[in-house]
Chains A and B, each alone.
Chain A
Amino acid sequence: MSDAATAAVEAGQQAPPHPLREFWGYFRQNRGAVVGLAVVLTVMFTALFAEFVAPHDPHEQYREHFLEPPFWAAQGSFEFPLGTDAVGRDIFSRIVHGARYSLIIGFIVVALSLTVGVTLGLLAAFFRGVFEALVMRAMDIMLSMPSLLLAVVVVAILGPGLFNAMLAISITYLPFLVRLTRAAAITELSKDYVVASRVSGAGLPRLMVITVLPNCMAPLIVQATLSFSNAILDAAALGFLGLGAQPPTPEWGTMLAEAREFVLRAWWVVTFPGLAILVTVLALNLLGDGLRDALDPKLKR
């Protein structure tokens, strides 16, 4: 372009925004996502500083105060703001500590499934052939079983417990991540910049990690957020079935299992742990949706 043209552009009305700013701009417009982010940060804060936020020790049983209702009800008090459970433990404190468990569950499951899943997916996309066929068949078989059932099978083999539950859940998420990574990697592999990279002599590991992987990031990030929130739900489900965290661990699902027999007598023992799960997972899902929309603004228009 001529000097005149360049000058015209520089003096011009609008310049395209920096990509990170653009991302934040889109994200910010989505009020749900911002609320989600705020809630998630609150939950994280609560989990980190549980000892300070919770008024009582989560395991301490107050023998004088079995099944006390929340503070706004007749026999309730501020000492136990959300009431107590059947053995006199403060529900609010247990919920606060439970946040820690839920977040740890989310992190570990995502870390495990992401590492193994992405690696398998990339390897399958790069090596093709028999290896790929075997891996994808195995994934198809895993997908043909309901994921909760698969987790139940793994736990049945390994025995109940929080860590085994996390392992089981990570295994059930593998097929989605492997498929996603493989599909994204195959698409990227056919693009010109990869061919160019190969031609200029890039080695396989370098190609995989540095060239191809960053371009598959967007769907992976969204899937990771989804996996995080689903992991909390699935771990709670396993806890509820008695196959996950065992009592007296203050994990939200396990709390619900213990509360089941009091469902008609003491509604608060059931309502609040479940509400905690709902709020956390909902916030994570809003965040995930917001991320997805911001990363792919074409969807909005």
Chain B
Amino acid sequence: MLRFVLTRLGILIPTFIGVTLLTFAMIRMIPGDAVELLVGERGLDPARHAQLRAELGLDRPLLEQYWHYISGVLQGDLGKSIVTRQPVAEEFFTLFPATVELSVCAMLFAVLLGIPAGIVAAIRRGTSVDHVVMGTALTGFSMPIFWWGLLLIILFSGTLGWTPVSGRISLIYFFEPVTGFMLIDSLLADQPGAFASALSHLVLPTVVLGTIPLAVIARQTRSAMLEVLGEDYVRTARAKGLAPWRVIGIHALRNALIPVITVIGLLVGVLFGGAVLTETIFSWPGVGKWLIDSIHRRDYPSVQGGILLIATTVILVNLLVDLVYGLINPRIRHQR
């Protein structure tokens, strides 16, 4: 187990460095003058241009620039946004909780619906239940989630009027954010109807963002279960005369969940990509929307910082998932 942990941690560092290299190189690769890009002004007179160039350190050798960049990153300095003149890191972390809240809810939605669906499909393999569940999963997997979101808005917000169209909470409520998580904050604020409002704003984005993970988890659970159900130890469990729910729910599931955990790890990346689209549709004030807006506004320091932070988050979450996997898989847990 220790070896496993150390190996995983060992890979972390080169991967992180690789990502910083990518974001560092990114700016240099954009066509156009680097000074103009980073400052956001065009047509600078030569003197000012030279002065800014020296300030930004762009006249130094590349390696020194990279060192300057990465030491800044490790101290939390990711530059300033061209548009708002605020530190990029600060802007990011203000918006980050919104994305996290949405992603966590979406993942919960996907897991709580997807795993049971996959189990049922595996047990009733070949029947219409199996076909329906898998067909639905495949459809969810095949549709563009931004369209799905728009469709749900048309149906639930437009025609039925049940849910709001955008934002995290109705504008009539205002309170200081404590944790940044609207569900928690609205409970703490103790204003009547605030929590319900936060919840209703969360419903559609959660469903939309969680649809693809739901489909993937359902499919993966089904195929993992089918494989496990054919294993010798399941046959032994049946030969013991154990009740079916025990054979499936305890003996089979415990083993089938192991590959499903791996899939959940892979889904974190998908979630962030989906968050970008979901936040755009629902005007959800998270980092995904902020990133796209920054690209359209040519706010390159924000883009650079945002990519780095998001990639780092994904890497860390993947590491966590890997560690959990190591704990659950008994063969790895008992290695030295």
Contacts and interface: CB of A to CB of B under 8 A. Distances in A.
A282 interface: yes
Given A241-B277, A267-B154, A285-B138, A145 B147 contact: no
A87 B63 CA distance: 52
Interface in A120-162: 137-138, 140-141, 143-149, 152-153, 156-157, 159
Given A159-B31, A243-B295, A149 B273 contact: yes
B160 interface: no
A149 B11 CA distance: 21
Given A146-B273, A146-B314, A278-B147, 7 more contacts: A144-B269, A152-B292, A152-B295, A256-B144, A263-B153, A264-B153, A278-B142
Interface residues of B, number: 48
Interface in B1-46: 11, 14-15, 18-19, 22, 26, 29-31
Contacts of A81: none
Interface stretch (B109-117, B303-311, B327-335): B303-311
Q: Which of B138, B144, B269, B295 has the most CB of A within 10 A?
A: B144
Interface residues of A, number: 43
Given A149-B276, A153-B307, A281-B143, A137 B18 contact: yes
A19 B249 CA distance: 39
Interface string A242-265: 110000000001001000100110
A159 B30 CA distance: 8
Interface of A: 32, 137-138, 140-141, 143-149, 152-153, 156-157, 159, 229, 233, 236-237, 240-243, 253, 256, 260, 263-264, 267, 270-271, 273-274, 277-278, 281-282, 284-286, 289
29 contacts: A137-B18, A141-B18, A144-B314, A145-B19, A145-B269, A145-B314, A147-B269, A148-B272, A148-B274, A148-B277, A149-B272, A152-B291, A153-B22, A153-B307, A156-B303, A157-B30, A233-B142, A237-B277, A240-B146, A241-B292, A256-B147, A260-B281, A264-B158, A270-B147, A271-B154, A281-B143, A281-B144, A284-B142, A285-B138
B220 to A, nearest CB: 14
B142 A229 contact: yes
A138 B165 CA distance: 41
Nearest to A267: B154
A274 B273 contact: no
Interface of B: 11, 14-15, 18-19, 22, 26, 29-31, 135, 138-139, 141-144, 146-148, 150-151, 153-154, 157-158, 165, 269-274, 276-277, 280-281, 291-292, 295-296, 303, 307, 310-311, 314-315, 318
Contacts of A286: 138
